[in-house]
Amino acid sequence: MELSGFSEEQLAVRDAITKICSDFPDEYWAKHDESGEYPHGLHAALARDGWIGIALPEELGGAGLGISEATMMLHTISESGGGIAGAQSIHANVYATQPVAKFASAEQRQRWLPELIRGERRVCFGVTEPNTGLETLKLQTTAKKDGDSYSVTGQKIWISSAQVATNMILLARTTPLDQVKKPSEGLSLFFIPLDKSQPGLEMTKIKKMGGRAIDANQIFFDNYRIPADSLIGEEGQGFKIVLHGMNAERCLLAGEALGLGYAALQKAATYSRNRVVFGRPIGQNQSIQHPLASAYMHLEAAKLATYHAARLYDRSKEDKSITAKAVGVAANSAKYLAAEAAFTACERAVMTHGGMGYAQEFHVERYLRECFVPRIAPVSREMIMSFVAEKVLDLPRSY
């Protein structure tokens, strides 16, 4: 990847994270992908050096940097060979805590975030539901206030890292859909304990295609009790609050996709320099070179879009001329472009390796399996195109 143009802070993050990740090479990730064992080692190493709090305020023990630097951190973890699995070992703790830092009370922030930064607490993010999918505003999980607690009932699906998380940042409906003016009202955001020893909470793991070191789960709440002071911000304002974390997540995931794409190209270039067939390195053939060169240029373009979106996100905190719409369009576009560029790079890397592209030993098959995640989550390619068509091109809403 071309490094010119990045800030000193971003380059310092890249150096430090590269050093940490050198203890967790491709072989570590291949082993964990096969066993499904959680990468506790990387999480602990990142917590030890304070990286989980990269974009959280200094007074809480964070580094006080922004999403521009956090994106570089996750990009670098992914590019080290950790891929989406490596990045997901801390992913939710970086972006889903952004709305907590902004909207929770001072007492709540103090109660939750310093421990999370030290790695003593971990969050997962609970939005997706089996029956509503991308139609988030129709989600059916409810939280009903009852004295000094809420009772949560419903189902979540695809919740990453729930098996190792101590807490979940949960989006649930507190006012029924038919009693609100707009569907975006009546949703609330909570920072809840995830305690399987308590009645009303069950989770089952989902067997999946890639990133198997990170558990993905279906979660069942049945009158699960949470303290009333788990509520972040005002009741009913949860959707507006959570959006603050969602744009950050799109930037991070774009960075993670880029990391996979660059790592795949690196492996393809090395292999094609060394593999000799018909008396010359396969990389001397233009049919091998050109697809790799084209994949590189697409990654570089997506890189510009990604770090532009992250910069807008960070600057919008101070510069009120940067609208929420501008940030949303940039973050969604970046996630789309990076995911597609990564997919192309990973697919070409597998094909460049010929038969060995299909062998676990060369790692590119693992990268290809993982690079579907940024295409699907947290929002699909199709929904991003519908969003841009509506918000930028002023076309009729299609969903």
Beta strands per DSSP E along the chain: 123-126, 142-146, 149-160, 167-173, 187-193, 201-205, 216-227, 231-232, 276-277, 280-281
Tell me: does residue 399 bind ligand FAD (CB under 6 A).
yes
Q: Binding to ligand FAD (CB under 6 A): which residues in 100-129?
A: 124-128
Burial class (CB in 10 A: 0-12, 13-18, 19+), 131: exposed
Residue placing its CB nearer to ligand FAD in the complex, 134 or 297 = 134
Q: Which residues contact 83 (CB under 8 A, 6 or more apart)?
A: 29, 210, 211, 256, 259, 260, 263, 366, 367, 370, 371
For 28, how many CA atoms within 13 A lie in the half-sphere containing its CB?
17
β-pairing verdict for 231-232 and 216-227: unpaired
DSSP-assigned letters across all residues of 181-192: SSTTSSEEEEEE
| Rg of the Cα atoms in the chain | 21
Tell me: does residue 216 bind ligand FAD (CB under 6 A).
yes
Number of residues that bind ligand FAD (CB under 6 A): 22
Output the CA–CA distances (angstroms, integers) from residue 239 to 67, 172, 189, 323, in the order listed. Answer: 20, 9, 7, 18
Q: Measured between alpha carbons, how far is 184 from 175 in angstroms, rounded to an integer? A: 11
Among 99, 245, 259, 378, binds ligand FAD (CB under 6 A): 378
Q: Site mask, ligand FAD, residues 140-179, x = CB under 6 A?
A: ------------------xxx-------------------
Q: CB of 286: closest distance to ligand FAD in angstroms? A: 35
Taking each helix axis as running N to C, give the angle between helix 324-352 and helix 286-315, from 0 to 180 degrees, rounded to the nearest 10. 160
Q: CB of 386: closest distance to ligand FAD in angstroms? A: 6
Residue with smallest beta-carbon separation from ligand FAD: 133
Tell me: does residue 133 bind ligand FAD (CB under 6 A).
yes
Classified as helix, coil or strand, 67 is helix
Among 11, 44, 134, 293, binds ligand FAD (CB under 6 A): 134
Tell me: does residue 376 bind ligand FAD (CB under 6 A).
yes
Tell me: does residue 6 bind ligand FAD (CB under 6 A).
no
Residue placing its CB nearer to ligand FAD in the complex, 339 or 379 = 379
Residue placing its CB nearer to ligand FAD in the complex, 326 or 385 = 385
Among 377, 389, 390, 391, binds ligand FAD (CB under 6 A): 377
Q: CB of 249: closest distance to ligand FAD in angstroms? A: 9
Residue placing its CB nearer to ligand FAD in the complex, 308 or 381 = 381
Q: CB of 372: closest distance to ligand FAD in angstroms? A: 8
| Cβ-contact 165, 194 below 8 angstroms | yes
Tell me: does residue 382 bind ligand FAD (CB under 6 A).
yes
Which range in 13-21, 71-79, 301-309, 369-377 contacts ligand FAD by CB under 6 A?
369-377
| Amino acid at site 35 | S
Q: Where along the sequence are the contacts to ligand FAD (CB under 6 A)?
A: 124-128, 133-134, 158-160, 211, 216, 373, 376-380, 382-383, 386, 399
